[in-house]
Amino acid sequence: MIGEILGNRYEIKKLIGEGGMALVYLAQDLLLDRPVAIKLLRSEYSSDQEFVERFQREAKSAAKLCHPNVVNIYDVGETENSHYIVMEYIDGISLKDLIKKEGMLSVEDSLKIAEQICSALDHAHKNLIVHRDIKPHNIMITKQKHVKVMDFGIARAVSSATITRTGVVLGSVHYFSPEQATGKEVTEASDIYSLGVVLYEMLTGKVPYDADTPVGIAYQHVQAEIPPLSQKRPGLPPFVVGIVNKALAKKPEDRFKSAREMEVSIIEALSTLHEINLEKTFLSKLNVKEPPYKGDVAENGARGVLGPTKPYESSERDQEMGRKKNAEKKRKKAKRSLVKTLLLILLGLMLPTYLFFQISAFLNVPEVEVPNIVGLSDVEARKRIDERNLVYEVDSEVFSPDVPKGHVITQIPEAGRVVKINRNVQVILSKGPELVIVPDLIGMDIRNAQVMLQAMNLTDGEREYVETDEYPPNTIIDQSPKPNEDIEKGSAVNLTVATASSTRVFKMPSLINITLQEAKLLLGRHGLVLGDTYPDSTSILPEGYIVAQNPLPDSDVTEGTIVDVTISAKSGSVFLQESTEGSGDGDEASQWEISHGVKEYNVLVHVVRSGILRIVVIDETGSKEWFHSSVKEGEVIQRNVSGLGAQGKPDVYVQIWLDGEIWREQVLLDVTR
């Protein structure tokens, strides 16, 4: 693509980004002589005519938006193999990269950025366009700290045309609204929720919800309470916390009624923030005003007390007395001027002296060493701090599996520092281990129960197999702890599993490092059934040897258990599932083949920067790593991956990680074999 000219106008310069839907290139508009960004659709979308038509319609609709906080769309076109849109090129940094660089943003910067995003959303919503994919990756910050929101209207085209075909996950599930996670109607309120997540991340440096799988994150968006902001950033103003909490309300009707209403609240919060940040300077606190000088009440005697006097001719004696009085007045006036001057000089000398002693008294405060109170109880820690003439302050309380409830987790300043007396020592206290509610697993299949436990941050504990004809085999008939009990996060849940009458429970033999034919013989001797086979082109074992299995070796199994295996294969090899004969239930078996099987996906990665690249598939059997290696900018990595799942269900996820962060994610719906 580099060097090609699209539409006889746009010369491709270099690849600057890659997303789940398109590649983004920097190009030069040869007609207007300006840089532009070109988003080129991936081939899997360009071949779908219905999607292309919807994409062009939505892109043209978004092009009508004209707002200083919206990235402008200039043009829509097509090549022989794909379709593209031409957008305004932003010379800046994405909000996601800014958060990575800075960690927590300042409260003022966070509110200012959110205010501009609200303004962009308000403009779009008034034009009947819902973004559906608000996240830091789609928000650019220019060098002048001006906010630009990208991809208005494009997400709508993706969701309408492809969600039922390929299961593309729009954006990251970390920013999903509860209605998006449950497949309900997406409205303007969904954008407000996503913006609330973005504001939460700006203030804390972390998203509110995280888990090992997308299903777990989506479940938290729907069910879990918002982790208190005070746990991740103590001391935030209550009016800022209120804005975040309202935007993240589970029900759309409990959020801000519009982006404009949220924008007004943010503007008011900024105004309040500026007011409380205003402080008087030290000199203004020590301002000394000169007391007013009152002087004489009157220069003459009491005129008019006895009424007007009769005029008379002055004598020489009277004139002499008058001259003496005038001379006396001048002496008094000169004396008063001298007194004023001396007072001003004295004040000028005393004020610096006063300031000197005040500052010296402030600086020459006795110092003490901060004691180590980490691990102590609240009472004991407070006592130690009081003994050093310091001020004990509880900043917040957070969950901790390692520190007992009511004990100190961390302290600021740290132990050993020398500080002045009366200094505040802030501590974070433990609330003990975090508790979660045990889900109701009774009646579930064992595989679905494992997925549910993982989503709830619980583990699969001991299993007891009970022969019964009342439940289908591999169905959960009892559990411990019971449903709806509160237990510590990460705890194990023991399960009682139904097996057919007279079914023998035994340990699963190991199939690792033997051939597929040898595995078939071994499974047959134990009454086990070979299930799905998956190719692994990254294995160092010879072709045809088993590198992984499910159930795992030494786990409890019964006769008739289906065993899935992963086999070492050359790149491009495919292992086909053999048909089972003589089942007796032809219709049911046929329906199973249609509704359950292998979902395949061809991963093609254009590496935009050097780092550690991982390709991971998560399905109902767990997670598997298909690629893990260091890569260089410009490399192209291709892998054919697969996972086991049910037709039409979003239960197989393909994740691409770069340097420990998820870069792209694809959810697979359709069974291919």
Question: Could you give the residue numbers annotated as active site?
Answer: 133
Cross-sheet strand order for the sheet of 652-658: 622-631, 611-619, 652-658, 661-668
How far apart CA 370 and CA 390 sit, in angstroms, is 8
C-beta separation of 467 from 418 below 8 A: no
> Which residue is associated with the tokens 């500026």?
274
CA-CA distances (angstroms) from residue 513 to 523, 566, 568, 627? 15, 11, 10, 20
Torsion angle, alpha carbons of 655, 661, 664, 670, to 10: 20
Neighbour tally for 258: CB within 10 Å? 17
Query: If DSSP codes are grouped into helix, strand and coil, which group holds residue 585?
Result: coil
Task: Look up residue 187 and give its DSSP letter.
Answer: -
How far apart CA 248 and CA 195 sit, in angstroms, is 9
C-beta separation of 198 from 175 below 8 A: yes
Task: Look up residue 407 and give its DSSP letter.
Answer: B
> Which residue is associated with the tokens 């890659």?
18
Does residue 551 have a cis peptide bond before it, meaning omega lies within 30 degrees of 0? yes
> In which element (H, E) is residue 154 found?
helix 154-162
Handedness of CA 27, 148, 94, 40 (dihedral sign): negative
> Which residue is associated with the tokens 């978004």?
62
Comparing CA positions, the residue from 460, 449, 451 lying closest to residue 492 is: 460
> In which element (H, E) is residue 191 found?
helix 188-204
How far apart CA 438 and CA 460 sit, in angstroms, is 12
Tokens of 285: 């606190």
- How many CA atoms, within 13 angstroms, populate the side-chain half-sphere of residue 458? 28
How far apart CA 534 and CA 643 sit, in angstroms, is 8
CA 198 to chain centre: 6
> In which element (H, E) is residue 355 found?
helix 316-363
How far apart CA 124 and CA 126 sit, in angstroms, is 5
Beta bridge partners of 630: 612
How far apart CA 166 and CA 601 sit, in angstroms, is 10
Tokens of 495: 């399960």
Tokens of 206: 């972390």
How far apart CA 406 and CA 436 sit, in angstroms, is 20
How far apart CA 194 and CA 273 sit, in angstroms, is 24
